[in-house]
Amino acid sequence: MIDSGDAGLEPGAIRVPADAATLRRLCVEFRRDLLELTARSGTGSSHLGGELSLVEILAVLFFHTLRLDPKIPEWAGRDRFLLSKGHASAAMYVAMAWRGFFPRERLFDSFNRPHGILQEHVNMDTPGAEIPTGSLGMGLSAGAGMAWGARHRVRQHGVPPVGVFAVLSDGECTAGQTWEAAMAAGQFGLDNLVAIVDDNDRFVTGPRNRVMTLEPFAAKWAAFGWHVAEVDGHDLPAIVEVLAQARRPETAPGKPRVILAHTVKGKGVSFMEASDGWHAGNLTAEQYQAAMAEVTR
């Protein structure tokens, strides 16, 4: 069961509950850095569409919700964060850099480069990364295992409880392994597990319901024994509140929690928004300038 406070945690086990103005400013900076990172990456590209749709979610997680100590990335009392949609790694890297896990300069000289600590699919070279991800569908299984282990440590050793937060894509919710993990989490009553689905309605090959419908999406999760909430994935106050509710023990005792975050692929850049062509891509000089002008307005 997730403890909503910091009682019993050693000093330095920090949550930084940023105010609304700070979170808004962080979202601007995140989008700027995503564009700059893409332009300077070893391949000149990233998975921009699904990275831009995650910005508000990651800003709230890293600067309001998660208990982390960037100076001690493996601190035992930390919340565990898993980016199951690991191809959108650049969004996580930007959030982690601003949170202090590594120098921000690494965003611009280490992404998708030989021996760089920031690869396009998350790997263990990145300080603070919990697992390697990229093969979609694996993150929720790992998260369920971590959540079960954390609860076991509370019961057996009396250590402070931790939460496990996994960000999934809607696309990976067509994978069988996702639903096997969902079934197991419900069976074992993992109420310290929170899944956040970046529901941007776009797969790599087109609109979700044209490729593989997930409806009734919320009802499927509920049928597997999950507490379900939905939110506008770009509404910062709403995200703050839904994540706060998700980690409260009294919200749904004995049930894992899933948040269906309705987002826009490519959010913040008009020529990328809801576009199938920007799942991944390279920016021309003209596109870079136009996009940067939009996100800094």
Contact of 84 with 146, CB cutoff 8 Å: no
Q: What is the CATH number of domain 20-295?
A: 3.40.50.970
**With b meaning 16 or more CB within 10 Å and e meaning fewer, what string describes 201-224?**
ebbeeeebeeeeebeebeebbeeb
- pLDDT tens-digit readout, 34-48: 999 999 999 999 999
For Cα atoms 256, 257, 260, give the angle at the middle one, nearest 5 degrees. 145
Which one-letter amino acid corresponds to residue 37?
L
Would you kindly state where each structural domain of the chain is located, as residue ranges?
20-295
What is the structure's pLDDT at 77?
Answer: 87
**pLDDT tens per residue across span 104-141:** 999 999 999 998 999 999 999 899 999 999 888 899 99
121 CB neighbour count, 10 Å cutoff: 15
Q: What are the DSSP calls for 195-210, one per residue?
A: EEEEE-SEETTEEHHH
Q: What are 50's two structure tokens? A: 């699904």
For tokens 């690869």, name the residue: 119
Helix (H) or strand (E) holding 244: helix 236-247
Residue 200 has pLDDT above 50, yes or no: yes
Q: Which amino acid is at 268?
A: G
Mean pLDDT of the chain: 90
Reported as type and span, the H/E element at residue 257 is strand 257-262
Tokens (6 digits) for 219: 């009802």
Beta strands in 123-256, from DSSP E residues, in sequence order? 164-169, 193-199, 202-203, 206-207, 227-232
Confidence band for 2, pLDDT divided at 50, 70 and 90 = very low
